[in-house]
A and B are shown apart, each in its own frame.
Chain A
Amino acid sequence: MRKKVIAILLTVTMTAAMLAGCGNSGSSSDSSTEPVQEENTEEPATEEDSATAEEAETAESEAGGGEIKTGGTLRVGTVQSPSVVGFTPEVTNNSFIQYLRCAYESLLYYDEAGNIVGQLASEWEADADAATLTFKLVDGVNFADGTPFNAEAVKWNIEQYIETGRSETNNIDSVEVVDDSTVTVKLKEWNSSSLEMIGFFIYYMSPTTFDEKGIEWMRANSCGTGPFVVSGFDQGVSIKYTKNENYRVEGQPYLDGIDYTIFGDSTTLTNALKAGEVDVLTYGNDCDIMKDLEGITNIITEKNSNGLGVESVGIIPSSAEESDPFYDAKVRQALCYAVDWDQIVTALSYGYYERTNQWAAPGAATYNTDLKGYSYDPEKAKALLAEAGYADGFDTVIYSASTGFQQNAATAISASLAEVGINASVEIIDGAKGNDMMANGWSGLYWHYASVGPDLGLYMGRHLDVNGAYYAKGIQHPQDCLDLLNEIRAAKDETTKVDLEWQLQEKIYDEYALFGMPLYVNAPVHMRYDYVEGAQLAKVHAVTWSPATTWLNK
C-alpha cells in the first residue's frame, strides 16, 4: 500500500510542478498576447465585479437547498503531506493550495466559467506597453491579528516571494505603493500570464505577526486574511484549523474548524471515507479510488470542468542518445502502432479516464481534431521496426510508479510490445527516482505528464526547449518544431496562435511521435459526502475549494 502513496505523490507533484512552472517564463522572449480567457482585462474591473464573486458564492450555496447550518468541524482526508503550512512563500507545491486557501487569500480568483474575478483586489489594470500591473485593494479587510490589510502589506509579501526566488515573481522588477489601497507592480518585461501568476499564486501574510513571531513560528502556524487560522500542525499526521473571528465577510465561515488527516495509504483513506470517518477526500484522482467508491450514492465526486489545472498523461520514449533504439522516429511510430492503447486505458481505468491522442485535452480550443493519430496495427509496427533495422526487436525498460493503474498499464503495455519483438521489463520506481529521471533524462519508456491549461505553447515549451525543465534532457529537439514554437510565442492574435499550435501538434505527434503516445486526461478529483455543502471543490480551479462557504447539512 505504501507504494500506492508514492505513486499518487508522484502524479500530483507532476501536476503541481507543471502549474507552478506555468508562470515561469522560459529564456525565450515572451511577447505572447494575453491568454484567451482574459478578454475583459482591458477595461478596469468595476467594484461590483469583485462583489459579484462573493455573492455568486453565497447565492450558489443557498440554492444548495435548505437554510445554512453553522458550526461543526469538517474532517478532510488526503495524502498530501506539506512540511510548511503558514509561511506562504515556501509553499511551492500547488497541491498544498487547498491548505493555503483555508488561512490565506489571493488578490484575484476565478469564477466557474474560468474568468478572473477579484478577491482581495476590487479592481486591477494590466498595461502591456508600460509592463505594469495595478491593483485596487478592497478596503476594510484585516489580518487575523487585527492589523489592516493594505498596500504596504501587499508590497512586503510580494518582496518575500521574490526573496525566496519563487518562479511566479522572478519577472517582477519592483513594487510601489501608490496609496493606502493601491499597488503597482513593474514587470521586467511584459508577459501575459504574469497577471495570473501574481494575482492567484501569491497569498498574503500579516507582516506584524511575522516580525513578532519569526519564520519558525510562521512555518507551523498562520496569520492571514482567510476564513480560518491554523490551530495545530503535526507534520505528516494532521493539520487543524479554527474559525478566524475577524474574517472580512460577516457570518462566514460557517464551520467552527477543519481537521485535515494525512494518510500514508490510499486504500486506508478510501476505507476511512466509506466508513464515514472523513467527510471530504481531496486528490482522489486515481481510478482505483473512484472504482472503490462506485455505487455509494451519498458520496459525490467533484471534477474540474473549465480545464484549469488539468494535465494529459502518456508514455514517452527516450530519444536523445544515438544508441537509443527510440532515436529513430520510425521506431517511435512503431511503438504507437504496436499497442491497443484504447483497450488498455478504458479497461484498466474502469472507463474513468478519458482518452486523448495529443497534448491538449478534448474540448479545449487547442485540441486538433484532424490529427491523424495511430490505430492498433502490429503488422505495421513490425514493418516499421524492420525498416529501422530492428527486425528481431530489442530490449528496453518501462519505468512506472506503483499506483494500481500505472503498474497494471505498464505490465499490459510490456505484454503487447513483446508481440512485436520489443521486450520491455517493468521496473517500479519511487517518487525520488521519478523526479530525477524527469530532470536529468532516462533510457527506455516513462510516463509523460503534460500540463494542458489554456496556454499550450507556453507549457509545451517547458518540454520542447533545449534546456526546458521537464523531459528535455531525454528527447530530441527538432529545429522545425522549435521554430514553430517561437512563432506561437510571437503570435499576435488568438486565431493565428491556435492554428500554429495545431500545426505543432501534428508535427510532433504524427510526424516525429516525439512525445510517444498520450493516453488519458488526468484532472484532480475530490470526493465529498452529500451533507457537505458549498465547498465548491475544484469548481473554480482544479486545486482550490471555498472553505469559507462550506457548511455541514446534518
Chain B
Amino acid sequence: MKAKDTLLYLDGVSVSFDGFRAINNLSLVLQAGEMRAVIGPNGAGKTTMMDIITGKTRPDTGDVYFKGEIDLTRHDEAEIALLGIGRKFQKPTVFESHTVEDNLMLALAGPRSAFSALFHRQSADEAERIDDILHTIRLHTKRDWLAANLSHGQKQWLEIGMLLAQDPKLLLVDEPVAGMTDAETAETAKLLREIAKTRSVLVVEHDMHFVRELDVKVTCLHEGSVLAEGSLDYVSNDQRVIEVYLGR
C-alpha cells in the first residue's frame, strides 16, 4: 500500500456539486514533518480539498488516508480534529464574543465531552500552555480582549494560535495572510516556519511573495487536479501554470 509511511495521502479523489466537478482525480502526498504550499487560481478546488481532508465534504470516489492507515472519509470533522488535523479557515474564524484567552482555552487539547466541560476547572498546566501560545502569537498583552476587537491580522494569528493549542500533527492553513500588511505577512511566514519544525503544514495561498518566503515545495491545482508540483521556481516556469494564471 502506497499510503504507508505518509502523513496524508490522497489518491484519485473526485467530488462534484450538482454536476460541477470541484475536485477531479486529485492525488497528493504529504510526508510527516513536511510543509507544502498549494497554489492555484480561484475555483481550482483548494478549499474543497481542505473540506475533504477535514471531513466536511465526502468525496464521491478516491482514497484519503491519514498516517497511512486512517481512512478519513469514514470520520467526521470532530473526530478528524481529534486525530490531529487542525484547520484554519480562509476568513478568520474566531469566537468573537469570547476573550482571546478563552478562545485558546477552548482550543486546548484535552477531553471534549460535555460533562467534563461542565465541571472543568482550569489547571496550572493549561494556564502555562496558554501563556506560551499567547507569546508565540504575540497576543499576550491582549489576553482579556474580546476577539471581536482584534484587528484582522491579529485574528488570523489568534486562529493559528488556536490550531497550536490543539496540538495537531497536521495543520491546514487557508490563505493565512489575506488582508495583512507586508510586515505582518513576513511575521506570519516566520511563525509558520517555526511551527513547521515540529509538525506538518499544508498552506493554501495566493500571495506569491509569501509562498516564496516559505520556501517549500509547491503544488499547483487547476480545475480540481494537480497541474504541477515541485519547487516554486520549477512550478512558476511550467508553461501550463503560466497559461492558467494568465488566462487564455
Q: Do A and B come from one complex?
A: no
Binding site for B on A (CB under 8 A): none
